[in-house]
Structure 1
Amino acid sequence: MRYLSLPLLLILSSPALAEDGLTVTGSVRLRYETIDGQARTGFNESDDLLNLRSSISADYRRGRFRIGGELYDSRVYGDDPGTPVTTGEVNAFELVQAYVGYDIPGAFGRETRLGLQAGRFTLNLGSRRLVAADDYRNTTNGYTGLRADLGLGGGTSATLIYTLPQVRLPDDRAALDDNQVRFDRESFDLVLWGGLVTKKLGGERPAVELSFYHLGERDAPRRPTRDRSLDTVGLRIYRDPAPGRWDYESETIHQVGTISSSLTPTAPSLDVSAWFAHLEAGYSFRHRWAPRLSLEFDYASGDGRGTKFGRFDTLFGMRRGELAPAGLYNAVGRTNLVSPVLRLEATPSKRLDGFIAYRPLWLASRFDSFSTTGVRDASGGSGRFAGHQVEARLRYWLIPKRLRLEWSGLLLAKGRFLHDAPNAPQGGDTIYNSFNATVSF
């Protein structure tokens, strides 16, 4: 059983779409990634890693009732002692979803509806910058609790959640290296609740969205934490892309609460005041390649020298959708960051799509570590400029809906900060590549 993995189960399973409403789907993704000039502290300057992620899900519906589950198997091979392997890469043979649901049309009037869900499930809410199931990462985020989706008529909808985020296990390096199977746990030591309300504003699909989430965290046995108690409020206004017109998005998020100054149980508590903002304007051309050109801007506060803690916490938000790849790179996240972006996307055919993006990078606070690199100059003497990031991706369906190939590449030309900070890695510019093959059924 030690070496049994989900790919074997997928081979032995057959996809089904039964008349009684049972749907079974699955996928296997193989990824080989390499990096030279690692930008994060404490890891190998050059490295490579083989990732294998397999999943199988089942959903049964009958009338208003539904029941579903999803099994994930995420493993890595070929890692060395200095390879950055965490629960973001390894979570072997885990039942991420196991839920029941019930839909109630007309719950609050003729044009209303209510959908209820309980158990284990994944979540993708709003812009996915705070609550998401990250698809690029080798593992995903799971939540245990309750979810309610409300359709209130007049273009207004809402989603409310009360969940215990699943803590992925094992989390010690020896067990991760061995791809050991240990079931994730949830408890009231980590709680996430809140939700969002969305209002469509009429023609051409503009919308406004208001969100609120509370994260409560405390020490658990053999698991010290920063004891976060964070209230996060967001306002988002957006218009979806469409051929031959402009689209836009503006999201501003304010975060307040408390956090311990360290993992020590007796560490003093600090007041939190942090911000995040995303601005975006794009245009989709009427062309058979469906090109879209966009200009974006991201700001995420960092911690300064004041009495308040200012480093923005993205909670369970996704990274790859707009910032950078996870995996061996994982250097740019939604914290202590100031960065404009120029992005070009295109879909030359139903089989092929891609994008290229240029992003210069600055620190919001020169006294804090840069984004998620761990590189820091507490004196502030290394300045704010971290470098130039150029990223590209190509995806091609070799067999439509069955086999997709993907290449992702990134160059980080390191700036003054990533060269001069006291603990900056000594390597040259960062070059990252990943090659992926995904089989779906």
Structure 2
Amino acid sequence: MKYYYWQIALASAISTLPVSSIQARENNQPMGESRVATQQAAQQLAQAGIFDSDNWSIKLSDNNYKWAIPPSANPAALDNPATPLAVKPEASKKSTSYFQPSSSYSTQPESDPPRYVKTLSKTGIEAFKDITWLDVGLDHRTRYEFRSNDIRRTDLTLDQPFLLRSRAYVGIRELLDPFRGAIEFQDSRRYNGKFPHDDRDFNEHELIQGYGELYFKQALGQDDRNQDRPIRFRIGRMAYEALDRRLIGRNEWRNTTNTFEGFRINLGREVNDWEVDLWAYQPVKRFLTTFDQRIENQWFYGAIGHWRKWSDIITLQPYYMGLIQDGSKMPGQVDREIYAPALRGYGKIGNTNLDYDFNLIYQFGRNGAERHEAHGYTLEAGYTFKHDWKPRISVFYGYASGDRHPNDNVNNRFERFFGFARPWSADDYIVFENIKAPKIKLEFQPAKDLRIDGGYNWFWLASSTDRFNNLLDGNNSAIRNPGFNRDPTGRSGDFIGHAFDIRARYKLTANIDTTVGYSHFVSGNFTRNRQIAALGRSPGSSNFLYVEVVVSAF
């Protein structure tokens, strides 16, 4: 904690710089006019297939973004009644947004508020047609999973759980400006599973968001396209996603949600040419049946910028994150100070139908008595064919360093903060830690409401002497290096395995989304050797099949 105060001061100082802000879409929109634009964009993204039915974001092609952010979707204009025909400023209001979404696979953050939320006046209920200041949402997701020889478990068997998640949201905006706020509840449960409940799947009756907000619509004037540049300040409990979701995510695929308590400041919004997002949070620890509590000995803070002036070519997102842990306040923990300067960029290459996305991260600090020095990066390039099915093929390579020597007083294991694993592997085996992961993906849309994607993936340990996080319950162990998922000698090899996955998503009705997915994983030498060492056998492969239905009230 000794560095915390000057780091927060530094983050606050950054807020005065003309760089852009946070995440690729949602969280920079508060609930006012920018929130309306964001929600409409999110609904269009969902209808277009940019968002999965399981909340795993997928970009199908460049054309999808014509649905996601229409050229005429000026967020300020969307909040106001249609201009009479006699007045003709509409042309000047078209194509004013600087925002361009990334085409990369599964990186689009969830909207803020979530996409199942609507303004009450837009729910289709006649009695509420004039209530434009209240946001409401209610949805339920049921997922059946068939998991055979799940390598995350120490019992290699067949598990067929049903995962149920229900959410409700209420938010107020504009009526009492600048005062705004929202609450979001979630109930997460697992039935028919063979394993004890854990906080990945089970979290009863929980408040995942509850915050107050001050929103100043024109506090920073306007950009050169006459779009308001607001200031937004939130305090309370929050759940949101930023950047490509690999470091900050709600973790929408998982049955439970990442949440934080603290404050957040946004300068500008996503339609502006620049935007800044600042935050200082304490992560929230999930409990199965009692109310979740903030982790009092941890602070997670940072700043994310968006520079969109050149968004037709590239959007730049410089950012900085820090994690502080006071080990003296919690038995068995050590002091940790992890700092991570980074740069993300994405865009399209002219009219070539080529797109790209990169993220470069360096980490330094202290991890107990050890010096922390790690790095990670992701690179993706894609091409969208000119065809009615809008097929996009992409190649990806992701890397996160692992600890090279267990006894050299240097920790090289990449810290993934609070990101989620779903973009790395469809079966949820791989996380952003000690990994080398090339993959090939194909996405296409053979019908209006049907989207299909699939790919092939290969996985190696970046360091053969460090752990494979999720193997053999290693991620749930209270011991830092329990031994099951790590071979400090490196003799078990470094090849984790390779996997094929495919998924089909069909929008049954405007309020019902369905998904069917399958993944087949073939174990590499490291996985086989560690299973044999711990269990005496290795089946050599595993299968994962799931069927999911999401129903939204509005």
Q: Where on the TM-score scale, by shorter chain, does this alignment land: which range?
A: 0.7 to 0.9
Aligned mates of 1:241, 1:434 — CA distance in 2: 36
Q: What's the CA shift for 1:383?
A: 1.6
Give the aligned partner of residue 156 of structure 1. Answer: 274
Quick check: 1:423 aligned with 2:534?
yes
Q: What's the CA shift for 1:109?
A: 3.7
* 8 Å Cα contact 1:116/1:147 also seen in 2: yes
Give the aligned partner of residue 247 of structure 1. Answer: 355
SS in 1 for 2:418: coil
| Identical counterparts, % of pairs | 28
Structure 2: gaps spanning 5 or more residues: 1-117, 122-127, 224-228, 475-484
Query: How do 1:11-410 and structure 2 match up within 5 A?
Result: 16-17=120-121, 18=128, 19-20=130-131, 21-62=133-174, 63-80=177-194, 83=195, 85-111=197-223, 112-151=229-268, 155-170=273-288, 180=289, 182-202=290-310, 204-219=312-327, 224-239=332-347, 245-260=353-368, 269-305=369-405, 306-320=408-422, 322-325=423-426, 329-373=427-471, 374=474, 375-400=485-510, 402-410=511-519
Q: Return closer, same or farther for 1:194/1:15 CA change in 2, 3 Å cut-off.
A: closer
Q: Return closer, same or farther for 1:167/1:46 CA change in 2, 3 Å cut-off.
A: same
Q: What's the CA shift for 1:387?
A: 1.3
* 8 Å Cα contact 1:337/1:371 also seen in 2: no
Q: What's the CA shift for 1:218?
A: 3.2
Aligned mates of 1:242, 1:343 — CA distance in 2: 22
Q: Return closer, same or farther for 1:141/1:323 CA change in 2, 3 Å cut-off.
A: same
Amino acid of the structure 2 residue aligned with 1:185: Q
Q: What's the CA shift for 1:414?
A: 1.0
Q: What do the CA deviations read for 1:254-309 (whole angstroms, capped 9, x no partner)?
A: 1112224xxxxxxxx21111111100101122222221111100001111113311
Q: What's the CA shift for 1:30?
A: 0.6
Quick check: 1:439 aligned with 2:539?
no
Q: What's the CA shift for 1:219?
A: 4.5
* 8 Å Cα contact 2:328/2:334 also seen in 1: no
Q: In terms of mean alpha carbon deviation, does 367-376 or 385-394 score higher?
A: 367-376
SS in 2 for 1:166: strand
SS in 2 for 1:147: strand
Q: Return closer, same or farther for 1:43/1:312 CA change in 2, 3 Å cut-off.
A: farther
Q: What's the CA shift for 1:31?
A: 0.9
Q: In terms of mean alpha carbon deviation, does 234-243 or 105-114 score higher?
A: 234-243
Q: Return closer, same or farther for 1:227/1:78 CA change in 2, 3 Å cut-off.
A: farther
Q: In terms of mean alpha carbon deviation, does 197-206 or 426-435 score higher?
A: 197-206
Aligned mates of 1:213, 1:64 — CA distance in 2: 29
Q: Return closer, same or farther for 1:84/1:350 CA change in 2, 3 Å cut-off.
A: farther
* 8 Å Cα contact 1:241/1:282 also seen in 2: no
Q: In terms of mean alpha carbon deviation, does 223-232 or 273-282 score higher?
A: 223-232
Amino acid of the structure 2 residue aligned with 1:148: I
Q: Normalising to structure 1: TM-score of the pair?
A: 0.85
Aligned mates of 2:349, 2:201 — CA distance in 1: 33
Q: What do the CA deviations read for 1:401-424 (whole angstroms, capped 9, x no partner)?
A: x11111121111111221223337
Aligned mates of 1:368, 1:277 — CA distance in 2: 18
Give the aligned partner of residue 266 of structure 1. Answer: none
Q: Return closer, same or farther for 1:280/1:128 CA change in 2, 3 Å cut-off.
A: same
Higher share of residues assigned strand = 1
Q: What's the CA shift for 1:381?
A: 1.2
Amino acid of the structure 2 residue aligned with 1:407: V
Aligned mates of 1:204, 1:231 — CA distance in 2: 31
* 8 Å Cα contact 2:313/2:349 also seen in 1: no
Structure 1: gaps spanning 5 or more residues: 1-13, 171-179, 261-268
Q: What's the CA shift for 1:25?
A: 0.8
* 8 Å Cα contact 1:392/1:409 also seen in 2: yes
Amino acid of the structure 2 residue aligned with 1:333: V
Aligned mates of 2:331, 2:140 — CA distance in 1: 32
Q: What do the CA deviations read for 1:141-172 (whole angstroms, capped 9, x no partner)?
A: 111111111129971111111111111114xx
Q: What's the CA shift for 1:241?
A: 9.5
Q: Return closer, same or farther for 1:15/1:127 CA change in 2, 3 Å cut-off.
A: closer
Q: In terms of mean alpha carbon deviation, does 375-384 or 26-35 score higher?
A: 375-384
Q: Normalising to structure 2: TM-score of the pair?
A: 0.69
SS in 2 for 1:420: helix
* 8 Å Cα contact 1:335/1:372 also seen in 2: no
Aligned mates of 1:45, 1:257 — CA distance in 2: 41
Q: Return closer, same or farther for 1:122/1:154 CA change in 2, 3 Å cut-off.
A: closer
Q: Return closer, same or farther for 1:222/1:427 CA change in 2, 3 Å cut-off.
A: farther
* 8 Å Cα contact 1:243/1:284 also seen in 2: no
RMSD: 2.4
Q: What's the CA shift for 1:341?
A: 0.8
Q: What's the CA shift for 1:73?
A: 0.2
SS in 2 for 1:382: coil
